[in-house]
Amino acid sequence: MSTQIAFIGMGVMGAPMAGHLLAAGYPVSVHTRTKAKAAALIKKGATWADSPAAAAKGVQMIFICVTDTPDVEAIVLGQGGIIETARKGTIVVDHSTISPAATREMADKLAAKGVTLLDAPVSGGDIGAKNATLSIMVGGDKVAFNKVEPLLKQIGKTITHCGGSGTGQLTKLVNQILGSVTLMAVCEALTFAHKNKLDLAKTIDALGAGAASSWQLMNLGPKMVAGNMRPGFMIDLQQKDLRLVEEAADESQTSLPATSLVHQLLTAAQAAGHGRSGTQALFKVMERLASLH
C-alpha cells in the first residue's frame, strides 16, 4: 500500500506540489484556510480535512507549504494542530520559508512525541512548482530524509540534504541574500546605463556572457528594460524573507551591510506601491533616485 500523506497549504506553491504527489499515486488528505483553493485537487481525488489535526490523522508523512513562521507554528502546535493527532514515526516536511530558530524549537517539541520535522524550503517559484523543477533544501534527520526523498523527487529537481534541523532554512536564507544583493547589482548597473543613455538591451547582451552575468541579470534585466513588473517573486515576500535573514544574522552576529541596504530600498519600493510587484520593481526605486521618472 502506498504511503498515506497529508498536504497543508494550497497556495500558488502548495497546490501544484500536492498535485504532483497525488498524480504519482499517493493518497493525499488536504487542508488549507480557504477550502475553495483545494477544490481542483479534491476533484482529482484528494480528501478534504477540516483541520491540520484531521489531515494528519493516520498518515505517515505530512507536508506543509504556507507563508510565515506563525502560520507553521499554528499548524504544527496550535489548537487543531498536527501535534494533536500525528503518531510516532510520522515525518513532517515543512516547505515554507520560516525562521531557522523557530524550526529547531518545533523539531524539539515534535521529537518529544516521536515525530520528525524536516525543514525543506524550496526555490524556483510558481513555475518551478508547476513544472516540478524546484530546488529543495532539506535540514533534519538523514534517515527521515531518505524516506521522503522519493516523494521530493516528484516535486523538485535539485534536492540537497544540508545537515541538521534548521540547515534547510539557513540555506534558503543564503539563497535570499544572493538573490537580493545580485538583484541590486542589476538595478544599479542598468540605472547607471540608463542615466548615461546606453542602449539597455544591447548592454545586457554585451555583458551577459562574462564575469558580470547572473540569473538576475539575464531573467529580470529584460523585464526591467521592458517595464514589466509582474511577479515572479513578490517584493512583499522577499521582504518577509529578508526579515528572516536579518533575524538570523542578528542571532549569529553576522554583519550583512549590503543585504540590509537592499532590504531598506525594497521598503522604498513598498512605499511606492510595489509590494505586490515582482522584485525587479527595485529598479523603479533606483531610477527614481536618479530622477529618471
Q: Which are the contacts of 44, defined by CB distance < 8 A and separation ≥ 6?
A: 19, 22, 23
x-or-dash string of contact with its own copies, 166-195, rule CB under 8 A: -x--xx-xxxxxxxxxx-xxx-xxxxxx-x
Give the chain's length. Answer: 293
Report CA Rg, the chain. Answer: 20
What are the two backbone dihedrals, phi and then psi, of residue 164, each rounded to the nearest 5 degrees?
-70, 180
Q: Cell 493516520 appears where? A: 58
Helix axis angle for 257-271 and 235-252, nearest 10°, is 150
266: contact with its own copies by CB under 8 A:
no
How many of the chain's residues bind its own copies (CB under 8 A)?
72
Nearer to its own copies, 110 or 248 (CB): 248
Restricted to residues 204-263, the positions that interact with its own copies (CB under 8 A) are: 205-207, 209-217, 219, 233, 245, 248-249, 252-259, 261-262
Check if 88 is active-site.
no
State the minimum distance, in angstroms, from the CB of residue 214 to its own copies: 4
Catalytic residue of the set 88, 172, 202, 284 = 172
- Of residues 92 and 138, the one with the C-beta less far from its own copies: 138
Residue 63 or 233 with smaller CB distance to its own copies? 233
**Is the distance from CB of 260 to CB of 243 less than 8 angstroms?**
no
Return the number of the residue (53 or 190) whose C-beta is nearest its own copies: 190
Which residues between 121 and 160 bind its own copies (CB under 8 A)?
A: 123-125, 135, 137, 157-158, 160
- Quickly count: other Cβ atoms within 10 Å of residue 154's Cβ: 16
**What 3-state DSSP class applies to 22?**
helix
CB burial readout 178-196, b (16+ within 10 A) else e: ebbbbbbebbebbbebbee
- Distance (Å, whole) CA 42 – CA 193: 51
Q: Binder to its own copies among 50, 108, 149, 199 (CB under 8 A)?
A: 199
Q: Which of residues 76-105 bind its own copies (CB under 8 A)?
A: 100
Closest separation in Å from C-beta 217 to its own copies: 7
Residues recognised as catalytic? 172
